[in-house]
Amino acid sequence: MTMHSDPDCIFCKIVSGQIPADKIHEDDELIAFRDIRPAAPVHLLIIPKTHIAGLADTEASHEALLGRMMTLAPRLAREQGALDGFRVVVNTGRDGGQEVYHLHLHVMGGPRPWKHG
């Protein structure tokens, strides 16, 4: 996969190392880090290193990447302490509540109660 980036995107700046993040996973295609405004005791973001604006911008060539994001989520959730379940959320577009226009998967879990994200 060819890596693309957006010089104005905060997540692309995290990928490039320009902005620090509390990373918990990194490989050739993905980075996972703790959310700076957690909505749950465990709140992680999983992002692709390549810039994809949102889920609506994915295509067939992204299937393997999306699958890797989804299979990484349960492993990281458990490792970070979400032992009794978690949520996976992808906000897409303005009406979907997306704030950063770089595809990202929220992984939220841990002991309840916590606010819904």
Is 104 a residue of the active site? yes
Check residue 95 and report its DSSP letter. Answer: T
Cβ-in-10-Å burial (0-12, 13-18, 19+) of 37 comes to: exposed
**Angstrom distance (rounded) from CA 51 to CA 114:** 30
**43, 51, 102, 104: the active-site residue:** 104
**Angstrom distance (rounded) from CA 68 to CA 37:** 24
H/E stretch holding 105 reads strand 105-109
The residues carrying an active-site annotation are 104
